[in-house]
């Protein structure tokens, strides 16, 4: 039995400032900061993980906020839209909220029978709220966003590609997705192994400009496996198909392998285990600056250079 993919695990994007990023995602969008740590490859930069109440896989948008970094350009070879699931009937609440906070948005429109509200984060990253009455995940009870309107986690992600067939084949033949719908140049794939965060849209733009990764763009998308066994079986499968896959890396909250899919998007496969409660209790998620053991001896130095966010 090859390792199974269970939908989206997390999505990682770039921001140009920690304070503005933290304020937008926790206050305006009402997500929970479930982990505050540093970029393990550059410990003078934060790594923020935002999610729902439990920080479950399929709810986690993460950021590397590099102070003052230039804006990137969304384009082919990237995840170009990150969609969150919100309860049915909540769009009026969100429209009022976006007007009150000067958020750039488009009027809601219908896509594959669902209502979608497209908006931008402070760095220009394209986000969407999609109304999904069937999503039973619990939103975080944020100060200004009551759980009955709150974000439940990911609905889907859209990848923009020059050509889509090779990526589609990876999703269906290896990851177990099924093509369900298409409209013009948008092709929808659904993962039957998970009830949510299980949709990938491929948007085919043959003459589109190549994306450039910097502030306001997505760095990579991670797909879930239940455990390391499934992950390593999936890794072997990908290698046998000619993909160039990294060795397994320890990200403290999950184990990761990375490879580039045929359309140029950086894919990661991440384990559900051990999860974000490995170093903080569920009630305390996101409170402290969490450092891995091998950076703990540099805590004073690291804390002195990280910008304050509260």
Report the interface residues with Zn ion, using CB under 5 A: 12, 222, 268
Report the alpha-carbon distance of residue 194 to residue 183 in Å, rounded.
Answer: 24
Are the C-beta atoms of 215 and 71 separated by less than 8 Å?
yes
Neighbours of 193 (CB within 10 A): 15
Q: Between residues 192 and 274, which has the closer beta carbon with respect to Zn ion?
A: 274
Q: Between residues 58 and 108, which has the closer beta carbon with respect to Zn ion?
A: 58
- B/e letters for 196-205, b = 16+ CB within 10 Å, e = fewer, are bbbbbbbbbe
Report the alpha-carbon distance of residue 21 to residue 309 in Å, rounded.
Answer: 9
Q: Which of 105, 97, 235, 87 is nearest to 175 (CA)?
A: 235
* Cα R_g (the chain), whole angstroms: 18
CA 299 to chain CA mean position, Å: 27
Q: How far is CA 285 from CA 55, 73, 290, in A?
A: 8, 33, 10
Q: Between residues 48 and 119, which has the closer beta carbon with respect to Zn ion?
A: 48
Q: Between residues 131 and 271, which has the closer beta carbon with respect to Zn ion?
A: 271
Q: Between residues 74 and 257, which has the closer beta carbon with respect to Zn ion?
A: 257
């Amino acid at each position: 039995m090859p390792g199974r993919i269970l939908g989206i695990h997390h999505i990682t994007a770039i921001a140009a400032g920690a304070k503005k990023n933290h304020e937008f995602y926790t206050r305006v969008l009402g997500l929970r900061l479930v982990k505050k740590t540093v970029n393990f490859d550059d410990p003078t930069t934060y790594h923020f993980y935002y999610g729902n109440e439990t920080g479950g896989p399929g709810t986690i948008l993460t950021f590397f906020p590099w102070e003052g970094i230039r804006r990137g350009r969304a384009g082919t070879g990237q995840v170009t839209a990150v969609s969150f699931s919100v309860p049915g009937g909540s769009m009026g609440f969100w429209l009022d909220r976006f007007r009150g906070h000067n958020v750039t948005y488009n009027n809601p429109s219908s896509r594959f029978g669902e209502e979608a509200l497209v908006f931008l984060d402070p760095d220009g990253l394209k986000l969407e709220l999609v109304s999904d009455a069937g999503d039973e995940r619990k939103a975080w009870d944020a100060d200004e966003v009551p759980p009955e309107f709150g974000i439940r986690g990911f609905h889907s992600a859209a990848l923009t590609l020059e050509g889509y067939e090779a990526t589609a084949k990876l999703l269906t033949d290896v990851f177990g997705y099924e093509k369900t719908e298409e409209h013009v140049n948008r092709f929808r794939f659904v993962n039957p192994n998970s009830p949510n965060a299980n949709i990938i849209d491929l948007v085919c733009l043959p003459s589109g400009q190549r994306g450039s990764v910097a502030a306001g763009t997505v760095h990579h998308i991670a797909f879930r496996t239940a455990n390391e066994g499934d992950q390593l079986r999936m890794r072997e499968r990908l290698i046998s198909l000619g993909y160039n896959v990294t060795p397994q890396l320890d990200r403290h909250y999950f184990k990761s392998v990375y490879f580039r899919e045929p359309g140029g998007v950086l894919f990661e496969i991440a384990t559900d285990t051990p999860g974000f409660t490995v170093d903080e209790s569920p009630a305390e998620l996101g409170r402290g600056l969490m450092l891995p053991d091998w950076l703990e001896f540099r805590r004073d130095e690291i804390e002195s250079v990280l910008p304050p966010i509260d």
